[in-house]
């Protein structure tokens, strides 16, 4: 079953944005590794002239920096791999917690979205039948809007819970005056395609994305 007209295009735009964000993170990793390797080279050159001046402690710290950056690079590549495969099947059974993990990882690649805190879920991890790529797009838009409202030093708590009307992804910690993500035409397309409902509790500072258990049944 296909998405609402125009929603597929929104998904492709999201993949393009996500690829740009991830490629920038990979570039940062490579830049740090290159700079650190250059510092090691400087220390080695200095030691060749005078072996007594070699600083083993500093060499160890620089080596640890490279290892940490390589591990960060692996994590970013794994994130890219998951995003790339999210469009393999237009509609699929997905673990909502895993989708939130992927989108949160993408958000953490941005300096202004680093303060993401995951809330533990009670009971079994919710699974739904939906369009994975479009769901990631909608969640990313929600996180992006939330952090633009709270600022780079703010914190957004993200939780997943099952309710009577479906599975809810809740973003907590929104400031007073937050207007939500309702104004974008793309959001409306994604809502229609996912049969999703977006609710904003301004007093509590919570944005909820409510998703049906089965997209096939919701569209029937």
Tokens in use for 128?
A: 């739904």
For position 205, what pLDDT does the model report? 93
Q: Are 200 and 141 members of one domain?
A: yes
Band (pLDDT 50/70/90 cuts) for residue 1 is very low
Residue 57 domain boundaries? 7-85
Q: Are 210 and 150 members of one domain?
A: yes
Give the best-scoring range by mean pLDDT among 45-59, 95-109, 114-128. Answer: 95-109
On whether the CB atoms of residues 210 and 194 are closer than 8 A, the answer is no
What is the share, in percent, of the chain residues with pLDDT greater than 70? Answer: 95
pTM of the model: 0.86
Residue 135 exposed, middle or buried by CB count within 10 Å (0-12, 13-18, 19+): buried
Residue 2 lies in a domain: no
Residue 152 has pLDDT above 80, yes or no: no
Band (pLDDT 50/70/90 cuts) for residue 5 is low
Q: Are 80 and 130 members of one domain?
A: no
What's the total number of domains in the chain?
A: 2
Q: Are 33 and 140 members of one domain?
A: no
Tokens in use for 56?
A: 């083993």
Residue 180 has pLDDT above 50, yes or no: yes
Q: What angle do CA 208, 213, 218 make, to 5 degrees?
A: 100
For position 19, what pLDDT does the model report? 92
Considering only 5-9, 77-81, 146-150, 191-195, which range has the smallest mean pLDDT?
5-9
Residue 145 has pLDDT above 70, yes or no: yes
Instruction: Read off the pLDDT of each residue in 88-110 and give the average, rounded to a whole number.
Output: 90
pLDDT, tens digit, 9 for 90 and up, residues 184-204: 778 999 999 999 999 999 889
For the chain, where are the E strands, in sequence order? Answer: 92-95, 116-118, 127-130, 156-163, 166-172, 197-201, 206-211
The region, left, alpha or beta by phi > 0 then psi within -120 to 50, assigned to residue 205 is: left
Residue 21 has pLDDT above 80, yes or no: yes
Q: Are 48 and 142 members of one domain?
A: no
Single out the residue in 25, 60, 85 at which a domain terminates. 85
For position 95, what pLDDT does the model report? 95
Name the more confident of 14 and 7.
Answer: 14
Average pLDDT taken over every residue of the chain: 88
């Amino acid at each position: 079953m296909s998405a609402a007209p125009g929603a597929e295009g929104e998904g492709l735009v999201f993949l393009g944005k996500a690829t740009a964000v991830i490629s920038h993170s990979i570039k940062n990793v490579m830049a740090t590794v290159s700079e650190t390797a250059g510092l090691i080279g400087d220390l080695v050159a200095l030691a060749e002239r005078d072996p007594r001046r070699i600083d083993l402690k500093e060499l160890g710290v620089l080596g640890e920096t490279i290892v940490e950056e390589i591990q960060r690079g692996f994590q970013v590549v794994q994130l890219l791999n998951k995003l790339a495969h999210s469009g393999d099947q237009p509609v699929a059974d997905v673990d909502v917690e895993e989708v939130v993990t992927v989108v949160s990882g993408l958000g953490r690649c941005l300096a202004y979205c680093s303060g993401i805190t995951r809330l533990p879920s009670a009971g079994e991890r919710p699974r739904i039948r939906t369009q994975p790529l479009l769901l990631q797009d909608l969640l990313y838009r929600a996180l992006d809007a939330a952090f633009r409202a709270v600022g780079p030093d703010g914190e957004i708590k993200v939780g997943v819970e099952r309710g009577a009307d479906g599975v809810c992804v809740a973003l907590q910690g929104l400031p007073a005056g937050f207007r939500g993500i309702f104004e974008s035409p793309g959001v409306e397309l994604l809502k229609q395609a996912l049969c999703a409902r977006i609710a904003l509790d301004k007093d509590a500072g919570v944005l909820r994305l409510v998703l049906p258990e089965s997209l096939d049944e919701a569209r029937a």
